[in-house]
Each structure stands twice: as structure tokens, then as C-alpha cells.
Amino acid sequence: MKTIKLNLSSDGAHAALSVAGASTDLSAPDIDQLIRDLAALRSKMTPIHPAEPPDNPAKMHHSDNLLWSVKAAPEKSTIRFAAQHPGLGWMAMWLSRAQVEDLTTSFEFEMVKIPEGT
């Protein structure tokens, strides 16, 4: 694998990306586009990501202070559920009524495992 390095500028507004000795300066919007492009490319690669979350927490992205939004999308007959990750930005998915009902049921089953007041 070629050496890839990322260095954040002192003001936090840019990052230097170096690949195999070649370097370029990227802004936050450039990084956002790079992340989207890499994710789109990764979705077409093998091996595919497993259908279930990994047991190893180190293999998952984690975020605290989750920001989320729920909004009806009547034109699609769905609910748009969006969550914000501090590094990835807003990610949205459109859920059918059946998926929302299944998700609600899943939350209810898991909530009984958590003591009240925590």
C-alpha cells in the first residue's frame, strides 16, 4: 500500500493530503467530497461490509451527542431519518412505514434491557 498522510493546518481550515510523495491542499468541502467519493467507490468493492455490525467496537464509527432529524416525505411515502456524524456530516435514509414500525419494535425490545433513569 502506498503511503498516505493527512496533516491538518494550524487554523483547521485545510488539510494536506500526501499520496506516494505527491501532495495537495484540501478545504473542508474538498474533504467532504472526497469522503463521499470514497464511500461511493467502497460500496462497489469487495469484500462487502457485513449485514450485521461487528462485535469488535474498534471496527465501528462512534459518535457522541447525536444530532438527528425525522421528517415525513409524503412524495416518497416514507419518513426521512437523518443523523449527523461530526466527521461525516449528515447522512439520510428514507424508511418505509414497515421499516419505521420494525425499528420502533426493535427499540422497544432493547429498551427493556436498560434500567429506567439511566
- Please name the residues in contact with 13: beta carbons below 8 A apart, sequence gap of 6 or more: 27, 28
**Residue 59 lies inside a defined structural domain of this protein:** no
The per-residue pLDDT for range 12-67, each reduced to its tens digit, is 999 999 998 899 999 999 999 999 999 999 999 999 999 999 999 888 888 777 89
Is there a single domain that holds both residue 71 and residue 115?
yes
Q: What is the pLDDT of residue 118?
A: 64
Helix (H) or strand (E) holding 39: helix 28-42
Is there a single domain that holds both residue 44 and residue 70?
no
Q: What is the pLDDT of residue 1?
A: 63
**Residue 13 lies inside a defined structural domain of this protein:** yes
Is there a single domain that holds both residue 68 and residue 118?
yes
pLDDT mean across residues, the chain:
92
Domain total of the chain = 2
| Torsion angle in degrees (nearest 10) through CA of 90, 93, 99, 101 | 40
Domain hosting 92: range is: 64-118
